Amino acid sequence: MKTLRKSRMGKTTLVLTLALLLLAACADPAGTVQKGDLMANIKPGSSAAAVQDVDSAAADVSAEFGLKLLRASMEKDGNVLVSPFSVLSALTMTANGAQGETLAQMEKALGLPVGQLSDYLSAYSKSLPSGEKSVFHQANSLWLKEGQVEVEKDFLQKNADYFGAGVFQEPFDNATVQKVNDWVKEHTHGMVPQMLSELSPQSVMVLLNALAFEGEWAEVYEEQDIHEANFTLADGSTKPVDMMSSSEYGCIRDGDAMGFLKYYAGGKYAFAALLPGEGQSPADYAATLTGQRLRELLSNPDERVVWAELPKFETEYSVSLADTLRSLGMTDAFEPDKADFSAMGREADGWPLYISQVLHKTYISVFEQGTKAGAATAVVMEAGAAMMDDPVRINLDRPFLYMIVDTETCTPLFLGALMEPGGKG
Q: How confident is the model at residue 14 (pLDDT cuts 50, 70, 90)?
A: very low
- List, in sequence order, the alpha helices (H) in 6-138: 56-73, 84-95, 100-110, 114-127
pLDDT digit string, tens, across residues 75-96: 876 899 999 999 999 899 989 9
pLDDT level of residue 53 (50, 70, 90 thresholds): low
Q: What is the DSSP string of 196-240?
A: -S---TT--EEEEEEEEEEEEBSSPPPGGGEEEEEEE-TTS-EEE
Strands across the sheet with 149-152, in order?
A: 32-33, 149-152, 345-347
Q: Please write the tens of the pLDDT for every residue from 406-420.
A: 998 888 999 999 999
**Quick one: pLDDT at residue 151?**
79
C-alpha Rg value of the chain to the nearest Å? 22
Query: What distances in angstroms separate CA 331 from CA 33, 193, 339, 340, 391, one per listed residue?
Result: 29, 31, 9, 12, 50
**Alpha carbon distances (Å) from 30 to 152, 154, 346:** 9, 11, 12
- Looking at residue 182, its pLDDT comes to 93
pLDDT tens per residue, range 229-276? 999 999 999 999 999 999 998 899 999 999 999 999 999 999 999 999
Can you tell me whether residue 249 is helix, strand or coil? strand
pLDDT at residue 218 is higher than 90: yes
Cβ atoms within 10 Å, residue 404: 23
What pLDDT sits at residue 40?
52
Please compute the mean of the pLDDT values over residues 165-170 and round it to a whole number.
86
Phi, psi of 32 (to 5 degrees): -95, 160
pTM over 0.85: no
Q: How far apart, in whole angstroms, are the C-alpha atoms of residue 207 and residue 124?
A: 20
In which band, very low, low, confident or very high, does the pLDDT at 39 lie, cut at 50, 70 and 90?
Answer: low
Mean pLDDT over 193-206 rounds to 80
pLDDT in tens, 362-399: 999 999 999 999 999 877 766 663 344 567 888 998 89
pLDDT score at 3: 36
Does the pLDDT at position 423 exceed 70?
no
- Give the residues across from 260 on adjacent strands: 251, 273
Judged against a pLDDT cut of 50, whether residue 20 lies above it is answered with: no
